[in-house]
Structure 1
Amino acid sequence: MARPTPLSGFPELLPQARLVEQHVLDVLREVFELHGFSSIETRAVEPLSVLLRKGEIDKEVYGVRRLADTAADAGGAGERGDDLALHFDLTVPFARYVTENAGHLQFPFRRYQVQKVWRGERPQEGRYREFTQADIDVVDRGTLAVHHDADMARVMGEALARLPLPGVTLQVNNRRLVEGFYRGLGLEGDVLTGSIGATMRAVDKLDKVGARGVADLLAQAGLTQAQADGALGLAQVRAGAGDLVQAVRALGVTHELLDQGVEELLAVLTAVDDLPADRVAVVADLSVARGLDYYTGTVYETRMRGWESLGSICSGGRYDALADDGRDVYPGVGISLGVTRAITPLLQRGEVRASRPTPTAVVVAVADEARRREADRVAQQLRARGVPTEVSPTAAKFGRQIRFADRRGVPFVWFPQDDGSHEVKDIRSGEQVAADPASWLPPEADLRPSVVVGA
């Protein structure tokens, strides 16, 4: 059989790297649940029309169909395989989930969701076709209080501070602020159409094409030189809670919507000013707009310090009209961490790793196959008290059983003795001592694999 060829963009982790990923997911779940978010899981596929309705992402969507599908056996309109697609994010499926289950949910509804998503992107470092996302959202019926925008930044900021990542910069902006500023410049349309939409999309490319590239795009959109200069001036503002208002006012543009956006953005910055700045620095970055069309207010992007080339690893924003069942509108705000995008490059470069490639803390040696049941009983006693334990697969010489444990990074080997007593050996130091399987525990640091940051 020919050696299989890996599929580009579909990462598969080895056991030691998977332990790091599991640690990250465990931390995220713990933080999210501490803040009252409930876990949900949505189906992997959505109607193609639903996915394409919100944003320009049609070239990245993977369609799904059965090879045997025909119009005759597809099961009816809307269920044909070529009408379905894998979800490219978790926000659009969540909006559909809310409208379908609104009668069973208590609002405001706080949810977290950790699932795979799929995008037909060109694979590169930090860009994958299949990857894990971790989302949190708050959604309400009718209106959603603005303080939830700050809540998103706080919760995700706390989670990021606890993860084995470099320090991050959480960049926050407000699309009302941006739209109001553009209207103050005399631009027309909205975030989807006209010169406002074109300007917002152009400025969002600032980190990719630079100021000169954005200026060219703005000229193509029909902006005057003064308008282009104003838009670029706003995009270059970086500020904290103490100097945001002054920085925006200094640009000399006024508009009612601009004032509302500044107020909302200032509230977010003020609410998260006690996050540990060495781990999570929060800054107003008025170039951030986010490419998806459904965002209406606060928007977030997050970059790892020293790894800015990866782009944003954690992003999101407010969406006031994404979920609508024809009777009620369900506005929401959310933020999503690209788990695979954040940790896979770190794993590949050895910047983060697990202390050992297996959860096992103890291997119970087998003197001979006739005594395997005895070894099984010892292992069960240890497991009953939370010690990850396995029994040696063979009754080879003890030296070979020790080498088996050592190759797997297992720190301890257990030896039942002929007289019914027991001994345990720390194979790193060579120390071997008497032990009782009913009471012995390894040191806390050895009980589970730990995550090691740095070389």
Structure 2
Amino acid sequence: MSLITPRTPPGVMELLPRQQVAFQRMLDTIRRGYERFGFVPVETPVFETVDTLLTKSGGETEKQVYFVQSTGAIAQGHKPDMALRFDLTVPLARYVAEHERDLAFPFRRYQIQRVYRGERAQRGRFREFYQCDIDVIGKDSLSLHYDAEMPAVIYHVFRELDFGGFTINVNNRKILLGLLDGLGLSDAETRVLVLREIDKLDKIGRDKVRANLTGEELKVPGDVADKILSLIAEEKSNDETLAALRALGIENGTFLKGVDELTTVIEGLKAFQVPDGYVRINLAIARGLDYYTGTVYETFLNDHKGIGSVCSGGRYDNLASHYTKSTLPGVGISIGATRLFFQLMDAGLIKDAGATAQVLVTQMDAALGPDYFRMAAELRAAGLNTEIQLEGGKIARQMKYADKAGIPVVILMGSDEKARGTATVKHLVKGEQVEVPLGELAERVKALLGRG
């Protein structure tokens, strides 16, 4: 029988155990941050019915969808009736519409699950990846205070993640839409295309964006393009930016409403005690997805902007219009955890974590097996993750195992130590070693781990 060469499918992130521990701890930090603000967990199936998943997406999304079909259905020539989810927003819309009567509104949910897209396989682009989403969904209306809460959550989570300095960019799409309308660009389709070009400003630069705006497809007058780009390029404090927007004298209703909404969000962030230095009004942020209707967010790491946005989202008017007649406005953000982790690990900013075990009880003498089991049980009862070396063998090999696995503390007890009622505790990283009474073992291990 010929062997099949084992290989990871393209477009997935498969990690070694200590890397996986580091990734799981990142997810745990995000989860704790979401729960600290009162969001509740939701999980939806990995696949949805095709009519649910593709209601609003159209042809482009369908090209990236993985369809799901049983072998029996294939044999019978049936078309697929299910597909893997490509984001967590469409499943949320279906979930809220289906369970509307059972949910308390505003509905505050977080969801940390894998999604699937048929991306072209390349380094740093994934076909299977984790998204970490939060959304607040209202019934009929939703206060702008929730738009201010989203950056407060981002601030809290990224401070806990400790990846370095970061900036939460905030804007309101109504400002740009109203500004374009006030400058004579009244065609709705043209305005959407212009917004998409403006959203590329940080990626392709001013000159390229101007060339695209004034080119044959959009035909934006040069003086209008310059006015838009000049306003966007100005770097001021948030209060100065808001004052500058009001000073433009534009009486367009959409524009004025956008300025008022953005002002409310900035004032709300002060109430949430988010420092000004972490939030910047960035009029270039438009978000490419057309269903955002007001506030939008993009978050960047200050020292690693090449990574791109690490957390994005915004406000939408009616989440579930395809599934219910109820009006369900919402606001949400998403962290692309797989891409973020991969790029930070690639940049050397995330190191392999240790093992889940904090302590390894070694086996120096097979006759003392019951003592080792009792010792491990007492350490676990004291809240210490403890593994027992069950095979015994040379102590040097056991120590090498602990070092390679990333277990920081080992316990050694031979017949001499047992006779004295002690055990030796060794911290492999610090190089510290001490013999302690068995009754003080858990306390001394915690102290050595910095948990005393």
TM-score, length-scaled by structure 1: 0.88
- 1:309 is aligned to 2:313: no
Among 115, 118, 121, the residue aligned to 1:117 = 115
Q: Secondary structure at the match of 2:239?
A: coil
- 1:225 is aligned to 2:227: no
Q: What is the CA deviation profile of residues 194-231 of structure 1, one whole-angstrom value per residue up to 9, with x for unaligned ones?
A: 21122112222222332232223323213222332333
Q: Secondary structure at the match of 1:128?
A: coil
> 2:70 — aligned with what?
66
How many residues get paired?
436
> 1:19 — aligned with what?
21
Sort the Cα spacing of 1:71 and 1:365 in 2 relative to 1 into closer, same or farther, 3 A. closer
Partner amino acid, structure 1, of 2:385: P
> 1:389 — aligned with what?
386
> 1:77 — aligned with what?
none
Distance between the aligned counterparts of 2:394 and 2:376, measured in 1?
A: 19
Shift of 1:148: 0.8
- 1:195 is aligned to 2:190: yes
Verify the 8 A CA contact 1:15 1:357 in the aligned structure 2.
no
Among 102, 105, 112, the residue aligned to 1:104 = 102
- 1:211 is aligned to 2:235: no
> 2:130 — aligned with what?
132
- 1:35 is aligned to 2:33: no
Distance between the aligned counterparts of 2:127 and 2:387, measured in 1?
A: 36
Sort the Cα spacing of 1:148 and 1:423 in 2 relative to 1 into closer, same or farther, 3 A. same
Distance between the aligned counterparts of 1:35 and 1:400, measured in 2?
A: 47
Distance between the aligned counterparts of 1:66 and 1:392, measured in 2?
A: 44
Partner amino acid, structure 2, of 1:90: L
Sort the Cα spacing of 1:188 and 1:266 in 2 relative to 1 into closer, same or farther, 3 A. same
Partner amino acid, structure 2, of 1:69: A
Sort the Cα spacing of 1:196 and 1:37 in 2 relative to 1 into closer, same or farther, 3 A. same
Partner amino acid, structure 2, of 1:426: K
Shift of 1:309: 1.6
Sort the Cα spacing of 1:189 and 1:62 in 2 relative to 1 into closer, same or farther, 3 A. farther
Distance between the aligned counterparts of 1:310 and 1:88, measured in 2?
A: 21
- 1:377 is aligned to 2:359: no
Distance between the aligned counterparts of 1:17 and 1:7, measured in 2?
A: 19
Verify the 8 A CA contact 2:411 2:426 in the aligned structure 1.
no
Shift of 1:62: 2.4
Among 295, 299, 304, the residue aligned to 2:296 = 299
- 1:446 is aligned to 2:444: no
Shift of 1:304: 1.2
Sort the Cα spacing of 1:284 and 1:382 in 2 relative to 1 into closer, same or farther, 3 A. same
Verify the 8 A CA contact 1:189 1:195 in the aligned structure 2.
yes
> 2:341 — aligned with what?
343
Distance between the aligned counterparts of 1:210 and 1:364, measured in 2?
A: 58
Shift of 1:416: 3.5
Q: Secondary structure at the match of 2:135?
A: strand
Q: Secondary structure at the match of 1:267?
A: helix
Shift of 1:423: 0.6
> 2:274 — aligned with what?
275
Partner amino acid, structure 1, of 2:198: V
Greater mean alpha carbon deviation, residues 206-215 or residues 299-308: 206-215
Shift of 1:123: 4.4
Identity of aligned residues (%): 38
Among 287, 290, 293, the residue aligned to 1:290 = 287
Unpaired runs of 5+ residues, structure 2, are: none
CA RMSD of aligned residues (A): 2.5
Q: What is the CA deviation profile of residues 269-316 of structure 1, one whole-angstrom value per residue up to 9, with x for unaligned ones?
A: 2222442566xx211111111111211110111111222122111100
Among 177, 181, 184, the residue aligned to 1:183 = 181
Sort the Cα spacing of 1:238 and 1:42 in 2 relative to 1 into closer, same or farther, 3 A. farther
Sort the Cα spacing of 1:109 and 1:147 in 2 relative to 1 into closer, same or farther, 3 A. same
Partner amino acid, structure 2, of 1:320: D
- Higher helix fraction (1 or 2): 2
Q: Secondary structure at the match of 1:42?
A: coil
Q: Secondary structure at the match of 2:328?
A: strand
Partner amino acid, structure 1, of 2:212: L
Q: Secondary structure at the match of 2:318?
A: strand
Q: What is the CA deviation profile of residues 39-65 of structure 1, one whole-angstrom value per residue up to 9, with x for unaligned ones?
A: 111111223344344455333322222
Partner amino acid, structure 2, of 1:423: A
Sort the Cα spacing of 1:422 and 1:47 in 2 relative to 1 into closer, same or farther, 3 A. same
Partner amino acid, structure 2, of 1:138: V
What are the residue-to-residue correspondences of 1:163-182 with 2, within 5 Å? 163-182=161-180
Shift of 1:156: 1.8
Shift of 1:403: 2.7
Sort the Cα spacing of 1:215 and 1:58 in 2 relative to 1 into closer, same or farther, 3 A. farther
Shift of 1:368: 3.9
Verify the 8 A CA contact 1:38 1:110 in the aligned structure 2.
yes
Among 130, 146, 149, the residue aligned to 2:147 = 149
Verify the 8 A CA contact 1:147 1:268 in the aligned structure 2.
yes
Sort the Cα spacing of 1:71 and 1:297 in 2 relative to 1 into closer, same or farther, 3 A. farther
Q: What is the CA deviation profile of residues 249-285 of structure 1, one whole-angstrom value per residue up to 9, with x for unaligned ones?
A: 455543111011011112222222442566xx21111
Shift of 1:430: 5.1
TM-score, length-scaled by structure 2: 0.88
Partner amino acid, structure 2, of 1:102: E
